[in-house]
A = this chain, B = another copy of it.
Amino acid sequence: MASTQTENKFSLKRFILGKPLQTQALAEERLSKPIALAVFASDALSSTAYATEEILIVLALAGLGASTLGISIPVAVAIALLLIIVTISYRQTIYAYPNGGGAYIVARDNLGELPAQIAGAALLTDYILTVAVSISSGVAQITSGFPELRPYRIEIAIGVIFIITIINLRGVTESGRIFAIPTYFFLGTMILTLGTGLIRALLGDLPTVTDVEPVHEGAQALTLFLVLRAFSSGSAALTGIEAISNGITAFKEPRSRNAATTLLWMSGILVVLFLGVTLMAHQIAALPSENETVISQIGRTVFGENSPFYLLVLAGTALILLMAANTSYAGFPRLAALAASDGFLPRQLTYRGGRLVFSWGIVGLALLASILVAVADARTTFLIPLYAIGVFLSFTISQIGMVVHLRGVGRLKPGEVVQGREAPITYDPNWRLKLAISAFGALCTGVVMMVFAVTKFTSGAWFVIVLIPLLVYIFFRIHRHYRRVAAALSLTGVPVDVSPRPVQTLILVDDVHAETVRMVNFAKSLGHPWRAVHVGLNPDKVEVVRQKWQQRIGEGELVIVPSPYRLLADPMRRYIEQLQEEEPGGFVHVIMGHLAMDTYWEQALHQNTAVLFNLALSRMDNVIVTSVPYQIHTKLKEIKAGERQRGMGRRKGHR
């Protein structure tokens, strides 16, 4: 049982998860800029590992010629421009919402519950997809270098998810430190690769890639629709830049400034890497392939197949991707807890585990991502159409929220400060410019989202388009439930009457043994009158119980409730109803025994009657159930030890 583990200070759980941290420690668990960059940038930067490739895969539908695949360059430039717009817009959000300005909070603060829940549903969906896509792509990098591992890619992917889950259950700072190394390692290998490639290209020494088995070459026309589809696929590069604005509270003070600086750094690096990879891919004439990633083709061509640097590139890319999933491990539980504390998700999600993290959310995320990986066969291309819609939906909502927010700022008098729900709102002379930027950003991301929905509808986007409204509906159902419960429990205007009422205490007796003695002992200790009740399933046993009761307990009344249909709970319920009729408005107090065992399987061999009774009685008004545990496990241990000793004695006797 779980309790056995928590009891033991040197338990497996503690060994794996580390010791629990105090609430005060929360304030100290803050990330410096370089570590925050590593934690929050891994998602955004890692998308450079597949974004270019996904553009090429779509373009390949119109053929594998250099001119066709070359369209990837203007497409990538357009994506980079979009990225710059979104970055500037999000920078404003970070300053306006220093306590965390994710789309959920901005929408809730400015647009109301419905847009907030839509943003929440979109973001939660995308956190899961981030894990699934990143891990799948990471495994694809590994199998590019080691094709013999390809058949096991699902197992590898789920194994990696499991490891990341354990690391995250340990808490965020330690994760930060763990993840700093891979992020900077990736950055280093990419700069080295692109730099070496650039120099070799300038020297006229860079060959084109050889021995690639490309995807099936399509014969479609190179229509605007196809280019837009390529653009949609490549826009996956933008996922992850919202991570910082969701996680501002994890930064060291001054939070907003540190977060904004980190965001600029991250976006800058992202633009350079994404354009660099796309240009280099074109330079070496990389081909989209199911067996080898574009990054692998670049590394192999730049450094040569047998160079240790090639393996370093693969390792760095795989690592950043596998670690990118970590962004979601920080973001998903945090957002889920936020929505849960607003009453739109189950309350359990707000519990912090022993290590200051939201254990429930982390485990849920890991499970859902694992299912997605298994269903999508660990192939990035299957997941990409589901991806990014949610991100762009939340971008759009967030920026519309900022437009409303900035209109509010514009209404203030110069120098005026108003206390908003989330943070103080200060007059800003530049509010018109900022509003224009946010509005332009919202327009761009909104249009891009529409392009996604249309160009990818049949290849999977429909699923997300159905899923998000469904999630929002469920969130509101949950919210309504909690609201109703609060209303039902409210004491406002209700007279509080706690004057004592009559109590009839019943001891439920199955047989007469040590557990029964314990129950009788407790009932007598309460000092309230009681009687024992036995449900008579078997006439022979009834007689035995009656006799044993006389011999061993010898006091109190033993009532036999007949059960002609051999049911346990029904006759008991009828008997209680009868007692309640005799004494209306009183409590009926049922005392039951519980044998506490050491292991699940032992417990399962005894979990019979109590479950049935509890089910039946828990729905009766004014019927209170008391469970008297008998710690039989200590007795059982003595008996086992005795058996062992006798066994050894016997063996010795034989000699």
Contacts and interface: CB of A to CB of B under 8 A. Distances in A.
A575 to B, nearest CB: 15
A487 B621 CA distance: 38
Contacts of A271: none
B528 A527 contact: yes
A458 interface: no
Contact of A564 (B24, B503, B624): B24
Given A489-B514, A618-B594, A521 B498 contact: yes
A20 B568 CA distance: 13
Highest count of chain B CB atoms <10 Å: which of A3, A348, A620, A623: A3
Contacts of A531: none
A502 interface: yes
Q: How many copies does the complex hold?
A: 2
Contacts of A515: 489
B608 A488 contact: no
A517 interface: yes
Interface string A600-617: 001011101000000110
A346 B6 contact: no
A631 B2 CA distance: 29
A482 interface: yes
Contacts of A553: 496, 498
A569 B1 CA distance: 14
B346 A604 contact: yes
Nearest to A353: B566
Given A624-B629, A627-B627, A595 B485 contact: yes
A200 interface: no
Contacts of A589: 522, 526, 626
B567 A354 contact: yes
Contacts of A499: 521, 524
A67 interface: no
Contacts of A604: 346
B514 A6 contact: no
B513 A6 contact: no
A7 interface: yes
Contact of A526 (B498, B517, B528, B569): B528
Nearest to A538: B23
A194 interface: no
A552 interface: yes
A595 to B, nearest CB: 7
Interface stretch (A57-65, A171-179, A633-641): A633-641
A290 interface: no
Interface string A547-566: 00000110100000000111
Contacts of A605: 346-347, 478, 481-482
Range, interface on chain A? 35 or more
Nearest to A482: B605
Given A564-B24, A624-B627, A2 B352 contact: no
Nearest to A627: B625
Given A21-B565, A552-B496, A501 B525 contact: yes
A148 interface: no
A501 B485 contact: no
A632 B498 contact: no
A93 to B, nearest CB: 27
Contacts of A17: none
A587 B525 contact: yes
Contacts of A626: 589, 624-627
A430 interface: no
A28 interface: no
Contact of A527 (B498, B527, B555, B629): B527
A20 B555 CA distance: 36
A484 interface: yes
Interface of A: 1-4, 6-7, 20-24, 346-348, 351-352, 354, 478, 481-482, 484-485, 487-491, 494, 496-503, 512-515, 517, 520-522, 524-528, 552-553, 555, 564-570, 587, 589, 594-596, 602, 604-606, 608, 615-616, 618-621, 623-636, 639-640
Given A7-B619, A490-B514, 6 more contacts: A1-B619, A354-B565, A487-B639, A498-B553, A522-B589, A619-B629
26 contacts: A1-B619, A3-B615, A20-B565, A22-B564, A24-B564, A346-B604, A352-B566, A354-B566, A481-B602, A484-B639, A485-B606, A488-B514, A489-B514, A490-B513, A491-B514, A491-B552, A498-B517, A498-B520, A498-B521, A498-B524, A501-B521, A522-B589, A527-B528, A594-B618, A596-B618, A618-B629
7 closest cross-chain pairs (CB), A and B: A489-B513, A488-B635, A626-B626, A20-B565, A500-B525, A498-B521, A22-B564
